[in-house]
Chain A
Amino acid sequence: MKRILSIILAFVFFCTAFWAMQRLLMPKYMTNPFEGALTAEYYQSNFAHDLIIIGSCEVYSNISPVVLWEEYGVPAFIRGNPQQLLWHSRAMLEDTLRHETPRAVLLSIQALMYPSPPHDGEPYNRMVFDGMRLSLPMLRSVRESMTPEESMLSYVFPLLRFHSRWQEISREDFTFFLRRAPVSINGFVMRADVLPVGWIPPPAMLSDYSFGQQAIDALYDILAITQEHGVELILFKAPSLMPHWHDEWDAWVVDFAARHNLPYFNAITMTDTIDHQYHTFNGGLNLNLAGAERLTRYLAPWLMDNAPSLSDRRGDPALDAHWQQLATQYRAWQAAQEAEIAETGRVYYSILLRNALS
Chain B
Amino acid sequence: MKKIIAIVIVAALGFALAACGGNTNNVNDNDVTRTTQQAPARQVNHSFVYRNVQITMGALPEPALAALGPALDEMREPNCAIEGEDVTLRFPGMILYLTYPADGSAPFIAGVRLTDDSVATPEGLYIGAAAAEVERLYGQYDREVNGFYYFNQGRSTLQIAVRDGAVVQIIYQYLFLD
* Binary flags per residue of A275-294, CB closer than 8 Å to B gives 1, else 0: 00000001101000000000
Residues of A within 8 A of B33 (CB): 149
Report the bound CA distance from A9 to B171 in whole Å: 67
Knowing A124-B81, A200-B75, the reply to whether A21 touches B16 (Cβ < 8 A) is yes
Are A285 and B83 in touch, CB under 8 angstroms? no
Are B80 and A82 in touch, CB under 8 angstroms? yes
Report the bound CA distance from A149 to B26 in whole Å: 7
Report the bound CA distance from A195 to B80 in whole Å: 15
Residues of A within 8 A of B5 (CB): 6, 9-10, 13
Are B22 and A160 in touch, CB under 8 angstroms? yes
Interface residues of B in 1-45 (CB under 8 A from A): 1, 4-5, 7-8, 11-12, 15-16, 19-20, 22-24, 26-27, 29-30, 33
B4's partner among A7, A17, A242 (CB-CB below 8 A) is A7
Are A127 and B161 in touch, CB under 8 angstroms? no
Are B73 and A199 in touch, CB under 8 angstroms? yes
B12's partner among A18, A57, A83 (CB-CB below 8 A) is A18
Knowing A160-B23, A201-B95, A205-B168, the reply to whether A10 touches B8 (Cβ < 8 A) is yes
Chain B minimum-CB-distance residue to A18: B12
Are B83 and A159 in touch, CB under 8 angstroms? no
A119's partner among B29, B78, B159, B177 (CB-CB below 8 A) is B177
Are A201 and B30 in touch, CB under 8 angstroms? no
Interface residues of A in 181-222 (CB under 8 A from B): 198-202, 204-205, 207-208
Chain B minimum-CB-distance residue to A7: B4
A35's partner among B11, B23, B81 (CB-CB below 8 A) is B81
Are A163 and B1 in touch, CB under 8 angstroms? no
B52 within 8 A of A: no
Report the bound CA distance from A345 to B19 in whole Å: 45
Residues of A within 8 A of B78 (CB): 282-283, 285
Residues of B within 8 A of A9 (CB): 1, 5
B66 within 8 A of A: no
Report the bound CA distance from A160 to B20 in whole Å: 7
Residues of A within 8 A of B26 (CB): 149, 151
Report the bound CA distance from A239 to B83 in whole Å: 24
Are A123 and B161 in touch, CB under 8 angstroms? no
Residues of A within 8 A of B168 (CB): 205
Report the bound CA distance from A269 to B97 in whole Å: 28
Residues of B within 8 A of A56 (CB): 80
Are B146 and A208 in touch, CB under 8 angstroms? yes
- How many A residues face the partner with a CB closer than 8 A? 44
A316 within 8 A of B: no
* Binary flags per residue of A122-161, CB closer than 8 Å to B gives 1, else 0: 0110010000000000000000000001010000010111
Chain A minimum-CB-distance residue to B97: A201
A272 within 8 A of B: no
A164 within 8 A of B: yes
A298 within 8 A of B: no
Interface centre among A149, A157, A163 (most CB of B within 10 A): A163
* Binary flags per residue of B90-106, CB closer than 8 Å to A gives 1, else 0: 10000100000000000
B153 within 8 A of A: no
Report the bound CA distance from A129 to B121 in whole Å: 46
A343 within 8 A of B: no
Knowing A6-B4, A198-B75, the reply to whether A123 touches B81 (Cβ < 8 A) is yes
Chain B minimum-CB-distance residue to A17: B12
Are B146 and A14 in touch, CB under 8 angstroms? no
Are B146 and A207 in touch, CB under 8 angstroms? yes
Report the bound CA distance from A331 to B27 in whole Å: 45
Interface residues of A in 1-37 (CB under 8 A from B): 2, 6-7, 9-11, 13-14, 17-18, 21, 32-33, 35
Are A57 and B23 in touch, CB under 8 angstroms? no
Residues of B within 8 A of A119 (CB): 177
* Binary flags per residue of A252-291, CB closer than 8 Å to B gives 1, else 0: 0000000000000000000000000000001101000000
Ordered by A's residue number, 21 sampled pairs between the chains whose C-beta atoms are within 8 Å are A9-B5, A10-B4, A10-B7, A13-B5, A14-B11, A14-B12, A56-B80, A82-B80, A83-B81, A119-B177, A120-B83, A123-B82, A149-B26, A149-B33, A151-B26, A157-B19, A159-B19, A160-B23, A201-B90, A207-B147, A285-B78
- A-contacting residues of B (Cβ < 8 Å)? 1, 4-5, 7-8, 11-12, 15-16, 19-20, 22-24, 26-27, 29-30, 33, 73-75, 77-78, 80-83, 88, 90, 95, 113, 115, 145-148, 159, 161, 168-169, 171, 177
